[in-house]
Chains A and B, each alone.
Chain A
Amino acid sequence: MLEVKNLLVFYENALAINDLSLRVEKGQMVGVIGSNSAGKTTLMNTLSGLIIDMKIKEERKGGERITIMGEVIFNGEEITHLEPYDRAKKGMALCRERHPIFPESDVLENLKIAGYLIKRSELKERIDFVFSLFPALVGLKHRRAGFLSGGEQQMLAIGMALMIQPILLLLDEPLLGLSPAIQIKLVDAIKNIQKEMGITTVISEQFARPILPMIDYGYIIENGMLTLTGSGKELMGNPEVRAAYFGV
């Protein structure tokens, strides 16, 4: 479903992604694990196309030079240089790091805005569906999203990504800044989404512990390079991984 071939991403002259290749099969849950500044966000932005928009806007201003080499293939189609809004139309949704929702709109309006690509007649049904996934949001319907707690914002952000009816869901550090109890709840919700709706999912994390048990396959990256790959089980048994990413 998704294939990345020999990807290189430079910011100016700094190499953020270095010759990275990966594959995601339909229905899988794939993890990308790396510590701070390993290149997780850069990878997610390259997959979702956000980096293309950043590149174009920087070029216009004569700002930072961003270079992208290699290939991103989605459902057999080369999309390396496609704009993010066109990728969304093809069924790709990204839930950005630190859950940037629309802070001044209330929860309901956030979901309505996120329903931009779907038919008006499907909007209500889709919103109800998101509320059924995250019942905690129902009572907050009319609360301004900027005033929600971190965990609530993250639920909303995932709900918004689901509004576009994605076939591929990219989650950039969804557990960041959440307490362990909330992390467990969210992991359950993510598992449900992937299992029951059959949405292919790529999830990035700093800590391996909460996500290794649920992923089918994992890639460990350091300084933009793959250092280790394997199934969730294999990685879990690996002593190096335990030492570096279990954060005990």
Chain B
Amino acid sequence: MLQGTLIYGFVNSVILALIALGFNLTFGISGVANFAYGALYIFSAYTAWMLLTWLKINYLISIVIAVLLTSLLGGLIYKFILLRVRGMPISEVIASFGIGLSILEFFRFLGFVGSEYTLPVFIDGSVSIGETYIDIQRLLIVVIGIALVSILYLFTHYTKTGLAFRGMAQEERTALILGINSDKMATFSLAIGSGLAGVAAITILPLGQVAIEGGYSALLNALAVCIVGGLGSTGGILVASVLIGYAQTFTATYIGSHWMMIVSLIAILVILIIKPSGLFGKQKELEERI
């Protein structure tokens, strides 16, 4: 029992990290808290479902198209809406949350409710680790999660665009005079963040159903992880994912699975009271020296 809980807790941690990765990337680079994130997550899943079910397109191709479209949608939302309120955090939150609500509720209006909206797992079957049986999709989630974190690290540390991202995140004006177009970079960061939401959805949702509510809980989980870890800190995100991931899994195992979401909410509250900048938030640390 305990072994199983430990393994499933780890998978749950990776799921949370996957969900938070895109939200954190966008915020870290452009400073935009993209509250349309959950909607983009679900948008990608429904799009993949439509391509697969209605147009009968090959699953892999459907996934790629869905992720690209989600990425594009994120970029467009930024370019045509969020760009105009950039630098005004309250307006950014209201605008992006409004867009997210519209997207999600539009799906409801179109009738995307019910249990037929499911995505197939990538590979069927399960394997046993010790005495615990685990399906291959969950293992793939772990593999994809670890791969994405590594790719993102390499991207932001070794490519020109990634380095420009890091520069812009720290000192936008200095980046500008070095030839970095900050509006273009911010659009990119929204597109990449949204694409990551898409990848997360398509990797995770085959475990259950695609439902509008999934958009709200994805946003909530992304927020919980980012608030606990400290927005903009990738290390913080990973630690927070593990903390919340295990807390959720233990709660589900020993108390009841409908308490899982409460764990995220409590985590947000506790951290906001104890250390509002998050466990690894570093707003204060450097300021004094500069």
A contact residues vs B (CB 8 Å cutoff): 48-50, 53, 57, 60-61, 83-85, 87-89, 93-94, 96, 100-105, 109, 112-117, 120, 144, 146-147, 160-161, 163-164
Q: How far is the CA of A105 from the CA of B84 in the complex (A)?
A: 29
Q: How far is the CA of A85 from the CA of B168 in the complex (A)?
A: 12
Q: Is B173 close to A, CB under 8 A? A: yes
Is A164's CB under 8 angstroms from B181's CB? Answer: no
**Chain B contacts for A117, CB-based, 8 A:** 178-179
Is B177's CB under 8 angstroms from A83's CB? Answer: no
Given contacts A113-B164, A164-B178, A100 and B171 within 8 Å (CB-CB): yes
Is A160's CB under 8 angstroms from B178's CB? Answer: yes
**B225 CB → nearest A CB, Å:** 21
**Chain B contacts for A146, CB-based, 8 A:** 286, 289-290
**A143 CB → nearest B CB, Å:** 12
Q: Of the candidates A48, A57, A61, A113, which one forms a contact with B166 in the assembled complex, judged by CB atoms under 8 Å apart?
A: A113
**A146 CB → nearest B CB, Å:** 4
**A145 CB → nearest B CB, Å:** 9
**Chain B contacts for A147, CB-based, 8 A:** 286, 289
Is A103's CB under 8 angstroms from B84's CB? Answer: no
12 contacts between A and B (CB under 8 A): A50-B173, A57-B87, A60-B87, A83-B181, A93-B177, A96-B173, A100-B171, A102-B170, A103-B286, A109-B166, A116-B180, A147-B286
Interface SS of A by simple majority: helix
Is A104's CB under 8 angstroms from B164's CB? Answer: no
Q: Is B149 close to A, CB under 8 A? A: no
**Chain A contacts for B236, CB-based, 8 A:** none
Q: Is B163 close to A, CB under 8 A? A: yes
Q: How far is the CA of A103 from the CA of B174 in the complex (A)?
A: 11
Is A105's CB under 8 angstroms from B170's CB? Answer: yes
**A161 CB → nearest B CB, Å:** 8
**Chain B CB within 10 Å — which of A48, A100, A102 has the most?**
A102
**Chain A CB within 10 Å — which of B88, B164, B174, B286 has the most?**
B174
**Chain B contacts for A88, CB-based, 8 A:** 176-179
**Chain A contacts for B177, CB-based, 8 A:** 48-50, 84-85, 87-88, 93-94, 96, 161
Q: Is B284 close to A, CB under 8 A? A: no
Q: Of the candidates A89, A102, A109, which one forms a contact with B174 in the assembled complex, judged by CB atoms under 8 Å apart?
A: A102
Is B174's CB under 8 angstroms from A100's CB? Answer: yes
Can you list, as one digit per residue, whether each of B158-188 has a CB less than 8 Å from chain A (1) or not (0)?
0010011011001101111111111000000
Q: How far is the CA of A112 from the CA of B181 in the complex (A)?
A: 16
A-B pairs with lowest CB-CB distance, top 7: A88-B179, A113-B167, A117-B179, A102-B170, A146-B286, A84-B176, A113-B163
Q: How far is the CA of A205 from the CA of B286 in the complex (A)?
A: 27
Is A85's CB under 8 angstroms from B176's CB? Answer: yes
**A180 CB → nearest B CB, Å:** 23
